[in-house]
Structure 1
């Protein structure tokens, strides 16, 4: 019975990890695509709702940036005094981690997650302060913009022409228990900026013509929407694990099944067009009978061409040996492994794929998967 994964005895390290996670505070992130979308405002709004419900919530650090709406929203929430640090004959104020842990509220608000602490602070970055608070068993609500995420640094620089200095690792974001997207339209955000609701008057015109152009904001907004969608999918996939019943996330993944016919390249290009429109990941699968080393030179050349085409189209090329499985079962296994949402198959397939014409492969795929759309592409 111990061999069954459900009944497997957990190791001491696994038990310790579970205990640590159960005692660790929960992290909620408010994520936006640019300053001024309303992350801090919404975080404060939620904090007031929690306080009304009797939850012990305090402010660790809030950056209002002199925005009147945000300052008003602070209201009567309790503040934990900031820590004073003297550096180069100036006094700076940083998050007081020790005071927060000593106060031990149920929830603490910490703004500007990617902030770099002044020299002399215990931790070099604010997200490390948050990590320490979480490990003390205190829940944290924090805010960050997409441009501060390490993995999108180069993309953001290409979009805006601006190098973002303050960044935080994706691994920290991935630990969040909840991520809330704070969204608005680029036009609305530019209007708020022009009205003086985001920056001081002397910064408005420069911001409108540099970082806050409509094209920049549209690109950043699409970037944050895709990142949040990917995060949702990853969490769903991890949660389901072996109990997978089909893709239920929001990020499309397309699988093109090809064989040695004239329609193969057509299918790959059709799949790419679909993937491009849907902003989806593209996978191309071919199923082989024999060991790859035993394939004829003609077949090897064909596969080499498909690989080159996939590389050009930024698609993932997959070769699977049947090993006594039916082609349909191979497709099902790959679809489950990569959380595929749509499958493309050619209508004109013959030889081992000739069952497609009779519909048996399609039927078998449909019987063994859920939430996957199947497209049969005509040869002409």
Structure 2
């Protein structure tokens, strides 16, 4: 939860574009305005939808900041203008938006944090596919790697999360009626993102995520002796998936999260950059990052040593890529074999590196 003196954060969550998040946010804001609340529109993205634009109604719309970049002029949220105006509530659409280079922050959620620190309440919108910890599941469902992502800690900041839910059939009808995309994009959308199976899976993901958030808020009593989760990764892309899996386990258990990287050879410049990305993702999930060195045959002992010193209760590790032979189907020396034999009283989660597993 935010520090004392921060504004309140409300997030309208949807399963996909077109569910009506912005529409409902504007509708509610006009109700607040009618009751005397000082609410303004800081940044509203209508995407050319007339019905949404009509919902702005009598709301005061603050000017946007214009930024020149590579010969083009872009409009972004003017954070300073919001803070100078100091409304009780400001509406800021598209939480996951990436700002144009030259902006104060790279991401809009960072602008929102500045506004919250100033004591101003913020109401915003986001689709479930933009949540960082769900990236692997979303990519499995849609076949698309979402570029604009929001750290889960931003969802944790929210005082209230509102799910805007419609059926896949309703979404398809809105799409066919031109209420979501321009006519020249409808056919492509129906063939890809807006297939009924994908929409149903995303809807279920949104429902489960919001229900889980409610459960955690209801059971938010302080855990006296929290569990500890250790995620064992290397510096390769599969590591991001393992960290997200570990975080979701830790989040549900209110557990402490640790990320261990065991380096077995000198890193190339590209591998060093990958390692820094893993470190940054660990920091985003508020995990303690641990770096150890070992030769190839001693990776398992290092994992067990760190796990025992931390007194972890669960270990998350990836399936080795050179899978063959051995008692678990992998070559020897295999760190998983060693961990199974020596990490007593610890649960071990072995996560497949194949894409199909990301739906689990």
Q: Provide the TM-score with structure 1 as the length reference.
A: 0.59
SS in structure 2 at match of 1:224 = helix
1:144-293 superposed matches below 5 A: 144-239=126-221
Deviation, 1:220, is: 0.3
1:103 paired residue among 46, 67, 85: 85
1:312 and 1:61, CA in 2 relative to 1: closer, same or farther beyond 3 A? Answer: closer
User: Residue deviations 1:297-346, cap 9 Å, x none?
Assistant: xxxxxxx9xx9xx97999xxxxxxxxxxxxxxxxxxxxxxxxxxxxxxxx
Q: Does 1:49 align with 2:31?
A: yes
Partner of 1:31: 13
Gapped runs of 5+ residues in structure 1?
1-17, 243-251, 254-303, 315-380
> Secondary structure of 1:74's partner?
coil
Report how far residue 21 of structure 1 moved.
2.5
Aligned to 1:371: none
Superimposed CA distance per residue, residues 89-142 of structure 1 (whole angstroms, 9 cap, x where no aligned partner):
111100000010000000000001000000000010000000000000000000
Q: Distance in 2 between matches of 1:237 and 1:144?
A: 25
* Greater Rg by CA: 1
Mapped pair 1:135 → 2:133: no
Deviation readout 1:324-374 (Å, 9 max, x if unpaired): xxxxxxxxxxxxxxxxxxxxxxxxxxxxxxxxxxxxxxxxxxxxxxxxxxx
CA RMSD of aligned residues (A): 2.3
Q: CA offset at residue 234 of structure 1?
A: 1.1
Q: Which has the higher contact order (CA 8 A, sep 6+)?
A: 2
**Which contiguous aligned blocks of 4+ residues in structure 1 show a shift greater than 3 angstroms?**
239-242, 310-314
- How many residues align? The count is 234
Question: 2:302 corresponds to which residue?
Answer: none
SS at match of 1:167: coil
Question: Aligned-pair distance for 1:239?
Answer: 4.5
Change in 2 beyond 3 A, CA 1:239/1:74: farther
Report the alpha carbon displacement of residue 200 of structure 1 after superposing the two structures with TM: 0.4
Report SS of the residue matched to 2:4. helix
SS at match of 1:22: coil
In the alignment, the residues of structure 2 paired with residue 37 and residue 219 of structure 1 have an alpha-carbon distance, to the nearest angstrom, of: 15
- 1:236 positional shift: 1.3
Give matches, 1:47-86, under 5 Å.
Answer: 47-86=29-68
Matching of residue 125 in structure 1 with residue 110 in structure 2: no
Q: What is the SS of the residue equivalent to 1:84? A: strand
Gaps of 5+ in 2: 225-251, 254-340, 352-360
